[in-house]
Chains A and B, each alone.
Chain A
Amino acid sequence: MNALNIKGLTKVYKGGTRALNGINLQVKQGDFFALLGPNGAGKSTTIGIISSLVNKTDGSADIFEYSLDTQPVEAKSCIGLVPQEFNFNQFETLMQIVVNQAGYYGVPRNVAKERAEKYLKQLDLWEKRNQPARNLSGGMKRRLMIARALMHEPRMLILDEPTAGVDIEIRRSMWTFLKEINEQGITIILTTHYLEEAEMLCRNIAIIDKGIIVQNTSMKSLLATLNIETFILDLAGEHQNITLTGFEHRLLDIHTLEVDVAKEESLNNVFEQLSNQQIQVLSMRNKSNRLEELFVRLVESGREVQRIKDESAKKEALANE
């Protein structure tokens, strides 16, 4: 069963901005799905439509086979939303925020209080339960939004950049928590700018740019398409010229070498050649996250394809005149 089934979803804002251009997207039940794209690509608009915060222009969205148009109550009940911006009342206490949210979904107050204890404890917020939300740190506010979204025990959790501005320790604990709830059967859709986060957590991925899905596949098969990986080597001593036969390489400065290594080639070969030249490698690292490289390439190639399409459409229009 699909947790989410989007068909021909289109959004044109007042003023003519076309945020979504008839996208199709399916997310399977139980999946941990990444929806990535540059700023203004249409991620938040897509999430806004799914969660009923944005009115769509055209198309349809079904949540666990409930249509958002004809069965909005059933569809909305399946979704828990963690939005990008803090959108709780800053003057209310944590308990009030999460218990009220459960109430909006029809959860009786006594049950809501039990769940509040469970989720606030799991997210390390229980000690702060009677404090106004404005007193929380940024990381705590993010966790509060996750707790709030889980209060009605949704079947699908949508997280719009949940770890933005959160330090690495809290981010990692949030990853662990999200993995756990996904293992319990909750479908998760995640948008993030931290691509290592998507790589680490998600099984499937869609990349959206300018309102179009430019890639929709499994994380494994997407990463498998990456042919070349770039490594940065920190070298002992100073070097002006280095020869590496069979490898694209460049000296970034007298101590640092950048080498492109194709998938079928061995790194041993690089080290052997450097060793033969009496060059000692002190340390080595990836130039960037693998997914990041793919992301940039896909977005750029998608834009190139669109540019060519636009140009040929213009030419055709001129020829018809």
Chain B
Amino acid sequence: MNNRTLIALQTLLIKECTRFLRIWIQTLVPPAITMSLYFVIFGNLIGSRIGKMGGFSYMEFIVPGLIMMAVITNSYSNVSSSFYSAKFQHNIEELLVAPIPNWVIIAGFVGGGVARAILIGIIVTCVSMLFVDITLHSIPIIIITLLLTSTLFATAGLINAIFAKSFDDISVVPTFVLTPLTYLGGVFYSLTLLPEFWQWVSKINPIVYMVNGFRYGFLGVSDVDYLYSLGLLVGFNVILLSFAYSLINRGVGIRS
């Protein structure tokens, strides 16, 4: 990577991070409040009646899933709204006229989404520490799963924004696809509690692997093999990043 490209990437990353930090009340505070409510209602009030799950208290069990849920939602929405706004206000043209390689445009926007996801992950982890003592089984697995998941959903958000023609189009996927898959992705329960058929159905849901990979990093327990989870994450990332690169290269949704 030459110096010019490095400066361009650095500029785009700074711009993306400045954007979500400037509107911190909309971007950083809501996940902290939502997660606090989850901990109070599902962890303290209901969780105390549920008992142990996977050998841990219910509160401990749901912490990794809740962090992952916030990471997924925020990495996706950061890039979809930022890229679509840039299209809507035409300031994407600032990037298209400049001598920036297309991969830098992708890396800049996705990098912004990953940065927000990491920050949200840290905030939610801090909030959860107010309610429960967190155990860390494997920090490398936690970091790798966090990076791969946030990259994957940031890229998915980018693809959504590339095709979007209105602000409605960037809210359809989170509302009708992402949220149901996340809630059914084993955040609040272990798959072993489900009948065999529904366990099999759940394993079609990719978010199950992300939640469980992350949970393995924290607790050392998982409904699926964590290596299999990491492998799937790498595979999905390669597919989505290649697809996004091909779309930007062809100018889909951004060049007439």
Which residues in B have some Cβ–Cβ distance to A below 8 Å?
3-5, 7-8, 10-12, 14-15, 18, 22, 85-86, 89-91, 93-100, 251, 255-256
- Given A48-B256, A85-B90, answer yes or no on A106-B8 (Cβ-Cβ < 8 Å): yes
Write out the residue numbers on chain A whose beta carbons fall within 8 Å of the beta carbon of B14: 100, 103
CA distance A109 to B251 in the complex (A): 29
B139, chain A: closest CB distance, angstroms: 33
Q: List 6 A-B contacts (CB under 8 A).
A: A53-B255, A54-B255, A86-B90, A89-B85, A100-B11, A148-B94
- Given A104-B12, A104-B95, answer yes or no on A54-B4 (Cβ-Cβ < 8 Å): no
Q: Which of B3, B90, B98 has the most CB of A within 10 A?
A: B98
- Given A53-B97, A96-B18, answer yes or no on A104-B91 (Cβ-Cβ < 8 Å): no
Select B8's contact among A51, A52, A105, beta carbons within 8 Å. Answer: A105
Write out the residue numbers on chain A whose beta carbons fall within 8 Å of the beta carbon of B91: 87-89
Verify A105–B98 contact, CB threshold 8 A: yes
A189, chain B: closest CB distance, angstroms: 14
B256 nearest in chain A by CB position:
A54
Select A88's contact among B3, B94, B95, B97, beta carbons within 8 Å. Answer: B94
Q: Does A76 contact B (CB under 8 A)?
A: yes
Verify A106–B3 contact, CB threshold 8 A: yes
Verify B94–A108 contact, CB threshold 8 A: no
Over the window 95-121 of chain A, the binary record of Cβ atoms lying under 8 Å from chain B Cβ atoms (1 yes, 0 no) is 010001101111111000000000000
Q: Does A247 contact B (CB under 8 A)?
A: no
Verify A100–B15 contact, CB threshold 8 A: yes
CA distance A81 to B5 in the complex (A): 20
Over the window 48-89 of chain A, the binary record of Cβ atoms lying under 8 Å from chain B Cβ atoms (1 yes, 0 no) is 100111110000000000000000111011010101011111
Number of inter-chain CB pairs below 8 Å = 80
> Told that A55-B251, A79-B97 touch, could you supply 16 new A-B pairs with CB distance under 8 A?
A13-B256, A48-B256, A52-B97, A53-B96, A55-B255, A72-B99, A76-B97, A85-B90, A89-B91, A96-B18, A101-B94, A103-B12, A104-B8, A104-B12, A104-B98, A105-B8
Verify A52–B96 contact, CB threshold 8 A: yes
- In order of increasing CB-CB distance, the 4 nearest A-B pairs are A103-B11, A106-B4, A104-B98, A87-B90
CA distance A89 to B11 in the complex (A): 15
Verify B12–A90 contact, CB threshold 8 A: no
Q: Does A91 contact B (CB under 8 A)?
A: yes
Write out the residue numbers on chain B whose beta carbons fall within 8 Å of the beta carbon of A107: 7
Verify A89–B89 contact, CB threshold 8 A: yes
Verify A103–B97 contact, CB threshold 8 A: no
CA distance A101 to B7 in the complex (A): 11
Verify B99–A96 contact, CB threshold 8 A: no
Verify A104–B100 contact, CB threshold 8 A: yes
B11 nearest in chain A by CB position:
A103
CA distance A315 to B220 in the complex (A): 83
Verify B90–A73 contact, CB threshold 8 A: no
- Given A104-B8, A104-B94, answer yes or no on A76-B99 (Cβ-Cβ < 8 Å): yes
Select A108's contact among B7, B85, B93, beta carbons within 8 Å. Answer: B7
Write out the residue numbers on chain B whose beta carbons fall within 8 Å of the beta carbon of A105: 4, 8, 98-99
CA distance A140 to B256 in the complex (A): 28
A83 nearest in chain B by CB position:
B93
Q: Which of A13, A51, A74 has the most CB of B within 10 A?
A: A51
